[in-house]
Amino acid sequence: MLTTEQCQKILGDDVHISDERLERLRDEMYAMADVVTDHLAAAAPARPGGCKPADFDAALALFPDEEREDVAERAAIMQFEGGVLPDEAERAAVLTAIQGKKDDGRKR
């Protein structure tokens, strides 16, 4: 989730809004995004390779709470900004997170 500082930076210096109001707007935008993505997932045709939205949700459930959102956000960025197919973006996001954990373990 974006911090209020990140939101302020995105809005720029010309927009003056309290942190409280900004947090409320940010939370409303995330809620709207959840509704839209849930609707799209329910209406989505079968994906190539048989991957279903529930598969990604099951994979996310294996991550600690604080990491789930990062993995989901990484998949969304790959999909919407990188043009990667949803199932490929989700798979890549999960694999990237797992690889990051392996790399962290080697550094210790």
In a shared domain, residues 81 and 104: yes
State which amino acid sits at residue 45.
P
Query: What local confidence, expressed as pLDDT, does residue 46 receive?
Result: 54
Q: What's the domain range around 36? A: 1-43
Number of Cα atoms under 13 Å in the Cβ half of residue 12: 1
For residues 31 and 61, membership in a common domain is answered with no
Residues 56, 106 within the same domain = yes
Query: Tens-of-pLDDT digits for all 108 residues of the chain?
Result: 778 888 888 888 898 899 999 999 888 887 877 777 776 666 655 555 555 556 788 888 888 888 888 999 999 998 998 888 888 888 888 888 887 766 555 554
**Same domain, yes or no: 34 and 57:** no
Q: In the prediction, which pLDDT does 108 show?
A: 43
